[in-house]
Structure 1
Amino acid sequence: MGSMLGHILPGLGFFLIGLWHLFNHIKLHALHPNTYIAPPWFPFSKFKYLELYVIMGGCFASISMELFIGPDRHHPFDTDGTIPTNHLRNFEHSSISMALFSYAAFAIVLDRSRAKARHDLAQFLGAIAFAQQFFLFCLHSTDHNGPEGQYHLLLQFVILVSLTTALMGIAFPKSFLIIFVRSLSIFFQGVWFVVMGIMLWTPGLVPKGCSLNDEDGHKIVRCSNEEAAHRAKSLVNIMFSWFLVGIAIFGVCLYLVLDKIYGKKVEYFTLKGEGLDHHGHGDDLDDIESQKEKYNLGASKNFVYMEKSALLPTDMGR
């Protein structure tokens, strides 16, 4: 971070993951509104752990840039082995990436272990990553008194929503609204990172009365006086409020579209819930075929076929 690309690239990562979760949670809820339970991540059809590998790859690239590629002399330490002051922010940013990398790596390990609490623990590690992110942005070593500080302050509110909903999702995995807000907040983080990168490092977009200055090898927006600084912060607040409303509308519209597309699909569920763990995932989806062979049951007997609006009050009265 600390540059346009340093904000835009991580922002695109949060943007894509947030959009991926938003799409899949809405789709899952539309298909199974009565049995919906939120998974911590979504597998791809041909490459199960692609989402988690993408997170790990992005975090590894971020750590490499912060500690080994970006710094002078291509290593983060001073000649005496200490951390120089102008590299403190690099360690802070890389610590956030390390927490996200740990979440993705252990999510894979937990899933392969088939442990009963693997989904809860994966959610917990995700919450720890958001807590790390919130903690380090709150106590950032970089001077964030100007417009850059206002961008980071508002970002902390979005991160706090991600952290809160991640923790709530552990206790209430069946609550679609909690997971919807969490996915939308991750998406919002990505959007806001991209906005920060563009607005803070494009000279033509710097607020009136402020300018880009080179301090310790980093470009920072400084304002000429208190009035200019106050105006710049107010503009950031207005922009954030517009994005907040716009992203909320986007999330609701996406829900309406996907619910219309997938809401009329049929829902299947087992009579006794075999093959499903307490998070609604198929622990042993292959057991379905073995059950059919063992009990000589066809698909029509092993599953109940349901379609939305199939049972009306008049039908129940009969």
Structure 2
Amino acid sequence: MGSLIGHVAPGFGFILIGLWHMYNHLRLLALKGPSSYKSRLWFPSNQGRLPRRLELYLIITGFTLSVTMELFINPAKHQPLDSDGTIPSDHLHNFEHSPIYLTFIIFALFALILDKWASRPLPAQDDILLILAGFCFAQELLMFHLHSIDHMGVEGQYHWLLQLVVFVSLVTTILGFGRGGAGSFVVAFVRSLSIVFQGVWFVIMGFALWTPGFIAKGCSIHVEDNGHKEIRCEGEESLNRAKALVNILFSWNLILLVVFAASFYMFMMIVFGNRSVKYSVLSLSTNEQEEEDEEEVEDDVEAHKKINNLAGTQGFVDI
């Protein structure tokens, strides 16, 4: 992750997964309604010739490539260890990023296995996946919070705000515990929205921290002895200004994301909301209803006649 591509590539992956989840959550809500809605932690793709478990395949492939880049492609020697078998100091951040990717790979692998065993009566499958998903976000939050690189400056402000978004993903996952899988629509939708926000913020961090043209006024990129690039500001005033710009950028992206979520909700309700009509009982036309009413009236008349005849016959017998 310690580069532009190391932030942008995973960021687009998070955005893609988050948007896919938002689409499916809203589609299920529109088609089934709030009472019959049931969330999922991953969604099969049953459209065209796409593989059913495409989402899981993409997660495994994407994060495997990320681990490969962190441990084998980015290092100058293309291997993670030093000549004496120890971890070089300038590669510690690569090893810190790798467990984040590995936890998501583990989640996708178990989701893949459990889906293949769907015919077997395995109890609490959704709860197990929910625990694994919570483990992924907890690992991500832990590693970003205890990162070995000094994040006290501008870079630290980006990472601190990122931790807030990851914390939302973790909390919304925990809220699903004991609720039959992924929980309610609100919880699942906010979680998918936070995943999108993670991706957006990763992309912004990639460009803002490693592109000289996006560095705040009074600050510049410096290369440390261990090869890590860090943003340093000329003084306290420049540092505070740069942090304030990061906060403003975060706030504006949050506003835009909320507007996008509300607009996407209305769009999905318009597109898929009308399709739910086919599941309701169709009302009879006016002519059909009139014919049915006439038949009911005739039946009532015939029944009344039979009762009268029966009563007359009974009276004759009694006499």
TM-score, normalised via structure 1 length: 0.83
SS of aligned partner of 1:54: helix
Contact map agreement 1:264 1:308 (CA 8 A) in 2: no
**Which amino acid letter does the alignment assign opposite residue 267 of structure 2?**
V
Instruction: Supply the distance in 1 between the matched residues of 2:8 and 2:125 (Cα, whole angstroms).
Output: 32
| Distance of aligned partners of 1:309 and 1:86 in 2 relative to their CA distance in 1, 3 Å threshold | farther
Instruction: Quote the offset at 1:307 in angstroms.
Output: 6.4
Contact map agreement 1:32 1:267 (CA 8 A) in 2: no
Q: Bigger shift: 98-107 or 213-222?
A: 213-222
From 236, 250, 257, the equivalent of 2:246 is 236
From 171, 180, 190, the equivalent of 1:181 is 190
Instruction: Quote the offset at 1:112 in angstroms.
Output: 1.6
**Which amino acid letter does the alignment assign opposite residue 214 of structure 1?**
V
Q: Which residue of 2 aligns with 1:225?
A: 235
Q: Which residue of 2 aligns with 1:43?
A: 44
**Which amino acid letter does the alignment assign opposite residue 37 of structure 1?**
K
Instruction: Supply the distance in 1 between the matched residues of 2:83 and 2:205 (Cα, whole angstroms).
Output: 33
Q: Which residue of 2 aligns with 1:13?
A: 13
Say which structure is richer in helix.
Answer: 2
Q: Which residue of 1 aligns with 2:222?
A: 213
Instruction: Quote the offset at 1:133 in angstroms.
Output: 0.2
The answer to whether residue 172 in structure 2 is matched with residue 162 in structure 1 is no
The answer to whether residue 97 in structure 2 is matched with residue 90 in structure 1 is no
Instruction: Supply the distance in 2 between the matched residues of 1:139 and 1:224 (Cα, whole angstroms).
Output: 26
SS of aligned partner of 2:102: helix
The answer to whether residue 156 in structure 2 is matched with residue 135 in structure 1 is no
Q: Which residue of 2 aligns with 1:171?
A: 178
Q: Which residue of 2 aligns with 1:288?
A: none
Contact map agreement 2:6 2:206 (CA 8 A) in 1: yes
Contact map agreement 2:30 2:276 (CA 8 A) in 1: no
Matches within 5 A, 1:1-318: 1-33=1-33, 34-45=35-46, 46-114=50-118, 115-172=122-179, 173-215=182-224, 216-266=226-276, 305-306=279-280
| 1:11-66, Cα deviation, whole Å (9 max, x unpaired) | 00000000000011011111111210101110111411110010000110000000
Q: Structure 1, unaligned stretches of length 5 or more?
A: 269-304, 311-318
| 1:225-282, Cα deviation, whole Å (9 max, x unpaired) | 11111111111001101111110111111001101111122278xxxxxxxxxxxxxx
Instruction: Supply the distance in 1 between the matched residues of 2:58 and 2:281 (Cα, whole angstroms).
Output: 36
Instruction: Supply the distance in 2 between the matched residues of 1:307 and 1:88 (Cα, whole angstroms).
Output: 63
4+ residue runs of structure 1 moved beyond 6 angstroms? Answer: 307-310
Instruction: Supply the distance in 1 between the matched residues of 2:86 and 2:75 (Cα, whole angstroms).
Output: 14
Instruction: Supply the distance in 1 between the matched residues of 2:237 and 2:41 (Cα, whole angstroms).
Output: 46
SS of aligned partner of 2:252: helix
Aligned residues: 274
Instruction: Supply the distance in 2 between the matched residues of 1:245 and 1:68 (Cα, whole angstroms).
Output: 39
SS of aligned partner of 2:164: helix
Q: Bigger shift: 185-194 or 46-55?
A: 46-55
CA RMSD of aligned residues (A): 1.7
SS of aligned partner of 1:72: coil
**Which amino acid letter does the alignment assign opposite residue 9 of structure 2?**
L
Instruction: Quote the offset at 1:169 in angstroms.
Output: 2.1
SS of aligned partner of 1:247: helix
TM-score, normalised via structure 2 length: 0.83
| 1:271-303, Cα deviation, whole Å (9 max, x unpaired) | xxxxxxxxxxxxxxxxxxxxxxxxxxxxxxxxx
| 1:183-227, Cα deviation, whole Å (9 max, x unpaired) | 000000000000111111110110111101112222221112111
| Distance of aligned partners of 1:148 and 1:35 in 2 relative to their CA distance in 1, 3 Å threshold | same
SS of aligned partner of 1:88: helix
Rg larger for: 2
Instruction: Supply the distance in 2 between the matched residues of 1:184 and 1:43 (Cα, whole angstroms).
Output: 19
| Distance of aligned partners of 1:250 and 1:82 in 2 relative to their CA distance in 1, 3 Å threshold | same
Instruction: Supply the distance in 1 between the matched residues of 2:145 and 2:14 (Cα, whole angstroms).
Output: 19
| 1:91-140, Cα deviation, whole Å (9 max, x unpaired) | 11111000010000111111222223222211211110000000000000
